[in-house]
Structure 1
Amino acid sequence: MTHASAAAQFISNEPRTDWHDSSLWWVRQKRDMAAHQIPEWEQLRELASRIKLNVLSELDEYLVQFEDNAQRNGVTVHWAADAKEHNEIVLSILRRHEYTKMVKSKSMLTEECHLNPFLEANGIEVIDTDLGERIVQLEENVPSHIVMPAIHMKKEEIGELFHEKIGTEAGNADPQYLTEAARGHLREYFLKAEAALTGVNFAIANTGGVVVCTNEGNADMGVHLAKVQIHSMGMEKIIPRAEDLGVFTRLLARSATGQPITVYTAHHHRPKPGGEMHIIIVDNGRSRQLGRKDFRKSLACIRCGACMNTCPIYRRSGGHSYGYTVPGPIGSILTPGIDLKKHKDLPFASTLCGSCADVCPVKIDIHHQLYKWRQVITEEKAQSAGKGFAMNMAAWLFRHPWLYRMAGKMGRLALKITPRALVYNRWNDWGKDRELPTPPKQSFGEWYRKNR
């Protein structure tokens, strides 16, 4: 299903669309208020951008440095070339200990690798412990946002889901009640878990430690209670020094939810006494993206979700319409690099307004990269035959000014005299949801020659 088709399904529920739009815009406004309270906000963004560019230019050296320091701390470091290898490494760790129960805190990388279904197919019980992720897991769905996974659901729907799945009161949609019910529901899984897996927000090259930022404390609880802790990290999550961390923690939460900082910022450097600590460094297409000069900077993303909260397309089409783990503007850059043919429509799901780049805490030029992907798709003839034909015809018309002017006159005349039923039909995508503008009496070119 194309993005346009999936978005049409989401938009068909107009109240949901309006609610989704306003909810995300509220988060965007919180981000603005938080940013305006920091006089040096733009300097922080510039510094974060330069740190990330330095990392991407010397990524191999920083990764080796990180591995050496982590191993010195007693951590077992694994390297995974792709999602399949990552999943097999996790399974091998659990199988070696004969573990069958694992708790997991939010990790978009494990969503990207489809870890849950893989482990479940191999007899491992995996429980997501973030409230939003657990809601989505009970719904048998996938996250629609990288920070707010269940933003597509209303509290009433969550109340019904909890009543069906965990036995809460029927019709009770009070957020506090539902949160407390989820806490009690998850507590038993924390106590039974034999292993815990978390994502990684930042990996520090000169210490060999990883940093996990959460608001619920579930990642810390899982790691502290389980004997074996596993941290899955994309290889781009490296930062050079511990001193650099403060730059990113000041930007991350403010950009994501408008908070000064996440409630928990946990540092993991070595195994607990009697326990094991594993870090899995995952490529899964990141090296290819690093090798694309025009798209390399997309790997600087710190997964705050600010670009999604501000994007007029994402807010009105929902995260599931993008068809991949990371939706929204940044996902529309990352995803075509994985499968251009399958996801060729995503770079076109943008107004190129630049709002995403304006709010990005590491100053990724998102709209420029989306425009560049459009050029790549056109050059490689990856777009549909109908669209290719239309674009070629338009290019030919633009190369012949007198024909272009004639076509404009004919188009204006046709819109004036053609019956409405012939203009607004099922073949006119533009006219399905909007009124075409009233045809002007003359083109701008004609007006200009007459008056200037």
Structure 2
Amino acid sequence: MQLAPERFEENAAAALADPVLELAIRRTTGTAERKRAEAVAAFPEFAAARERGRKIKDHVLAHLDHYLCAFERNAVAAGAHVHWAATAEEACRIVLAICREAGARRVTRVKSMLGEEIGLPHALAAAGIERVETDLAEHIIQLAGDPPSHIVWPAMHRTREQVAALFQKAHREPIGGPDDVAGMVESARHELRSKFLGAEVGISGANFLIADTGAVCTVTNEGNAELTTTPPRVHIVTAGIEKLVPSTAHAFAMLRLLVRSATGADITQYTTFHCGPKRAGDADGPEAMHIVLVDNGRTRMLADRSLRAMLRCIRCGACMNHCVVYRQIGGHAYGSVYPGPMGAVLTPVLTGLARARDLPHACTMNRRCEEVCPVAIPLPTLLRGWRDRSWREGLEPAATRAGIGLWAFVAQRPRLYRLATAWAVRALRLFRRGGWIRVLPLASGWTAHRDFPAPAGKTFMELYRERRRETSR
């Protein structure tokens, strides 16, 4: 499978034919959906908290320049260095320059989708700097040579049986097997411990940036963020400019939404606020802290009213866990850092619509993603916007445009439309077997992977008229 958005159809077909991937996805997303539902049911104020979260994000976006300046001012006052990067390439150059200045041969890294977005792992490798992923799932996919397939569970495409085999091969002293999850965790901990203590630089992302204190908030369940950001001499934070919230109180309001939506818990095991480097009298901490604020298309989204709502996203992954398309094909098929519904909106911004035009079409418009989004992003509306733009820019295939044109011609002529639909529903009965259609000409994209429910043999209007005659007797 080649990870490129323009290969979506090919990648999706390969994913649908992979029974192991189907098992891995079902195990993870099913559990995530159930746990989120339980967490929301146990939190009666969730709807009100969701509305408050939406308003917080919209307020920050409306005054983003003010909060960015306030954050920079307060972060610098706390002893941090703040850098600005307009593009992914510029962000990587800044991080590499800091690493070289620190004489870094090894860096530890906390899971960060922004880091993946800007291509930081590849930049570090090209510079000859050893990168150690410290999140358990990221450690797994680093050993396997895989990209992340989910923004919360990057290794969800791997079964525990595959992970056990991977650890047996890659770890110096492997512990545990597929039925001993605790043993496998201990094996990873044993493997990573010395690397935590031997890194010159630790790199993290940020769940939230606190404007009035200049602090950076990280959220994990493993404690790896603290081990990544504390022992090394230098701590580097890479964060998108939309991660801002006005104050610590606002951050906690957002955390109530993030954690329940992402993992179904009330709060994560580790919620840490990093405010500047080590101070006189502190027992530990980095000697220097650098914060790289990354734009990479965000100001374009801010200026585009049709996309601005996407900047509310707090990267919880709930839209993926509830997406009927994602739950069939997983994350790699999308060919981008961000998969699922949120990725189908973001990827055209990052790579261009011409390369990613298939992604907005990978949606049934059932609106489940919008229903579970903790900040009420209207994802189906945004996806329709990309579809409209793709049509206006002439990016749709000629066959699609011709088919839509033919349908429009028939639909604008009621008598012709009624005649065509009456013929079609009767013709489809020829392919029916036991109430289902398993093979259908010109519809192999559907029937190759699922059966098509056979129509009743009459059009809706015919059935409607029959029903009216029966009720009028």
Question: Shared fold (TM-score greater than 0.5)?
Answer: yes
Separation in 1 of the partners of 2:163 and 2:55? 42
3-state secondary structure, aligned to 2:103: coil
* Distance across 1 between alignment mates of 2:79 and 2:175: 49
Q: Is 1:310 the equivalent of 2:322?
A: yes
Deviations 1:336-383 (A, max 9, x none): 122101111111111111111111111111122112221221222212
Q: What SS is found at the alignment partner of 1:79?
A: strand
Query: Residue type of the partner of 1:374?
Result: R
Task: State the Cα deviation string for residues 278-332 of structure 1 (Å, max 9, x = none).
Answer: 0000001111111211111111111111111111111111010111111111111
RMSD over aligned CA atoms reads 2.0
Name the structure 2 match of 1:445.
461
Asked if structure 2 preserves the Cα contact closer than 8 Å seen for 1:80 and 1:281, the reply is: yes
Is the counterpart of residue 227 in structure 1 residue 229 in structure 2?
Answer: no
Matches of 2:175 and 2:49 in 1, distance apart? Answer: 48
Task: Pick which of 150-159 and 23-32 moved more.
Answer: 23-32
Residue 397 (str. 1) matches residue 402 (str. 2)? no
User: 2:459 corresponds to which letter in structure 1?
Assistant: S
Say which is worse superposed, 397-406 or 178-187, in terms of deviation.
Answer: 397-406
Partners of 1:425 and 1:432 within 8 A in 2:
no
Deviates more, 1:245-254 or 1:50-59: 245-254
- Which stretch shows the higher mean deviation, 439-448 or 86-95? 439-448
**Aligned residue identity for 2:235:** Q
Tell me if structure 1 keeps the 8 A contact 2:432–2:454: no
Tell me what 1:116 maps to. 121
Q: Is 2:51 aligned against 1:46?
A: yes
User: 1:191 is matched with which residue?
Assistant: 197
Alignment CA distance shift 1:241-1:386 (3 Å): same
The structural deviation recorded for 1:13 is 2.2
- 1:125-144 equivalences under 5 Å are 125-144=130-149
How much does 1:434 deviate? 3.4
Counterpart code for 1:206? D
Does the Cα contact within 8 Å between 1:48 and 1:248 map onto a contact in 2? yes
CA contact (8 A) 2:239 2:291 kept: yes
Query: For structure 1, which segment, 432-441 or 129-138, has the greater mean C-alpha deviation from structure 2 after superposition?
Result: 432-441
Which 10-residue stretch deviates more, 370-379 or 87-96? 370-379
Evaluate the alpha carbon distance shift between residue 413 and residue 306 of structure 1 in structure 2; reply closer, same or farther with a 3 A threshold. Answer: closer
- Identity of paired residues, percent? 40
Task: Report the CA distance between 1:220 and its aligned residue.
Answer: 0.6
Q: SS of the counterpart of 2:271?
A: strand
How many corresponding residue pairs? Answer: 452
Instruction: Give the TM-score normalised by the residue count of structure 1.
Output: 0.95
Is 1:407 aligned to 2:451, yes or no?
no
Q: 2: CA distance between counterparts of 1:101 and 1:18?
A: 36
Matches within 5 A, 1:53-452: 53-169=58-174, 172-173=177-178, 174-273=180-279, 275-338=287-350, 339-417=352-430, 424=440, 428-449=444-465, 452=468
Structure 1, gaps ≥5 residues long: none
Once the 2 structures are TM-superposed, how far is the Cα of residue 167 of structure 1 from its aligned partner? 3.8
Deviates more, 1:362-371 or 1:423-432: 423-432
More moved, 245-254 vs 229-238:
245-254
Letter aligned with residue 373 of structure 1: W
In structure 2, distance between residues paired with 1:3 and 1:366: 19
> Hey, what's the Cα distance between the residues in 1 that align with 2:432 and 2:31?
43
- More divergent stretch after superposition (218-227 vs 20-29): 20-29
One-letter identity of the residue aligned with 1:108 = M
1:168 CA displacement: 4.8
Structure 1 residues 117-156: Cα deviation after superposition (integer angstroms, max 9, x where no partner): 1111111111110000011111111110000010110111
Q: Which moved more, 1:368-377 or 1:132-141?
A: 368-377
Aligned partner of residue 237 in structure 2, secondary structure: strand
- Alpha-carbon contact 2:238-2:291 (below 8 Å) kept: yes
* CA distance in 2: counterparts of 1:196 and 1:299, whole angstroms: 27
1:235-282 Cα shifts (integer Å, max 9, x gaps): 000001122112111111111011111111111111114710000000
Once the two structures are superposed, residues 184-242 of structure 1 have per-residue CA deviations (whole angstroms, 9 ceiling, x without a partner) of 11111111100100000000111111101111111111211001000100000000112
CA distance in 2, matches of 1:417, 1:365: 41
Contact 1:424/1:432 (<8 A) preserved: no
The answer to whether the 8 Å contact 1:81/1:282 transfers is: yes
Contact 2:103–2:200, Cα closer than 8 Å, also in 1: no
Amino acid at match of 2:240: G
SS in 1 for 2:290: strand
- The whole-number CA distance in structure 2 between the counterparts of 1:7 and 1:62 is 41
Rate the CA distance shift 1:206–1:406 in 2: closer, same or farther, 3 A.
Answer: same
What TM-score results when the alignment is normalised by the length of structure 2?
0.91
